[in-house]
Amino acid sequence: MSGRLHFADAGEAADLAAFLARLIHYDKAAAVRLQVHGDAVAVFGRPPSFEVLAIRTARLAKPYEYGLETSLDVTVSAGELLESVGESADAVETAGTAVVPGAVTGPPWAGVLPPRGGWQQEPGLPGMVALRGMVAGAVREFRGRVEELAPELRVRAELDRVGREIWSRPVGDTGLPVRAAHAAQSLGFLRGESVDLLSAGNWLRLRTPYGSTAVRGAGLGPLSVAPV
């Protein structure tokens, strides 16, 4: 794969690079799935400590074109993509473009993505300030309960149990688990004032202008300790 993405501006490339860097912080061998349709690219990742999908979109200056191909759907190394996008954001003469890395064997989650359309608004989500406060409170509770444990009880199974109890709680009057909001905060999505909760089938999606986190049904897999 040697197609090239032409971002709408250098800011789009820089924002995508920041997202990729955060994913790699949690998993140095992270893979991401790219989907390009028209003049936008969606990048899907799954930070392992949160067990949710993270989605970041970027605007393109022109529709994707590589030979006769006008769309793109490929799983690549997050590190290799970051290197290409990062060079694009840093170099004035090539600002706004990035070479698509070669495809890699995708992890299981990459085969099950949220639908592109059919999303509808869901009620019950707290506002942005309250949402950030809820995440901060959950982090404080996790730290406090871990500190209260006797040293011999601070083992993975017990930490997972505490984490599962806290991060599985619903946000407000919704079915969205707190870990989805925690992931959004950790990935830099909970900024500004605009935040929505959307549903499509058995998917729930927390969306802000800076990115989204999504969970399917009761979740995407076993819960682990979320980083604090």
Give residue-wise pLDDT tens across range 136-176: 999 999 999 999 999 999 898 999 899 999 999 999 889 99
d(CA 179, CA 34): 24
pTM, whole model, 2 decimals? 0.88
Q: Give 43-82 as a DSSP string.
A: EEE--TTTTSEEEEEEEBSS---BTTB--EEEEEEHHHHH
Q: Two tokens at 176?
A: 């969205």
Closest CA to 13 of 34, 41, 54, 33: 41
d(CA 163, CA 228): 11
Termini Cα distance of the chain: 37
Q: What is the largest CA-CA distance in the chain?
A: 63
pLDDT in tens, 168-215: 999 988 999 999 999 999 999 999 999 999 999 999 999 999 999 999
d(CA 42, CA 39): 10
d(CA 51, CA 6): 31
List of domains in the chain: 4-104 (3.10.150.10), 120-216 (no CATH)
